[in-house]
């Protein structure tokens, strides 16, 4: 099995809700640290592992697990946080209080709309927290 740095396969950039790119120094501290971790992950590559789709070299199951292990290994980050009638993929919870909600959408853009709606509902309920969507 070969591995390649995630940043070699995915360009990591941050945007605000107006679509403007945000430099890392303009991001909330929890998100800055999470993006630093994401950029350092090693992505498992399996050339030819999927005979039905030879162009596909990365398993979404492995990628989900890689994000889970990478993000929850950081201080004050947890996964699958119950909030309202649903749950978010990851949250930064210093002192047990949620201050950043993160959704990771690996499945493709067809599910991105539900993540956006979920984060909008969270922001309405908790206006003081920051939000992010990671879509590799």
Token pair, residue 75, equals 């201080």
Using DSSP bridges, classify how beta strands 42-45 and 2-5 pair: parallel, antiparallel or unpaired.
Answer: antiparallel
Q: What is the pTM of this model?
A: 0.74
Written as tens digits, the pLDDT of the chain (136 aa) is: 455 444 445 556 787 777 788 888 888 888 888 888 877 777 777 676 667 777 766 667 777 888 888 889 989 999 988 877 778 889 999 988 888 888 888 766 667 778 888 888 888 888 898 888 887 6
In DSSP terms, which residues pair with 130 in a beta bridge? 100
């Amino acid at each position: 099995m070969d591995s390649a740095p995630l940043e070699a396969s995915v360009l990591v950039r941050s945007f605000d809700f107006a679509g403007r790119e945000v430099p890392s120094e303009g991001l909330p501290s929890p998100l800055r640290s999470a993006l630093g971790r994401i950029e350092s992950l090693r992505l498992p590559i399996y050339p030819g592992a999927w005979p039905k789709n030879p162009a596909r070299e990365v398993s979404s199951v492995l990628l989900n697990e890689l994000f889970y292990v990478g993000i929850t290994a950081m201080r004050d980050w947890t996964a699958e946080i119950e909030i309202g009638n649903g749950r978010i993929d990851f949250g930064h919870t210093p002192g047990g209080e949620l201050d950043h909600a993160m959704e990771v959408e690996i499945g493709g853009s067809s599910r991105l709309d539900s993540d956006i709606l979920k984060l909008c509902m969270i922001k309405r309920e908790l206006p003081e927290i920051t939000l992010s969507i990671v879509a590799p």
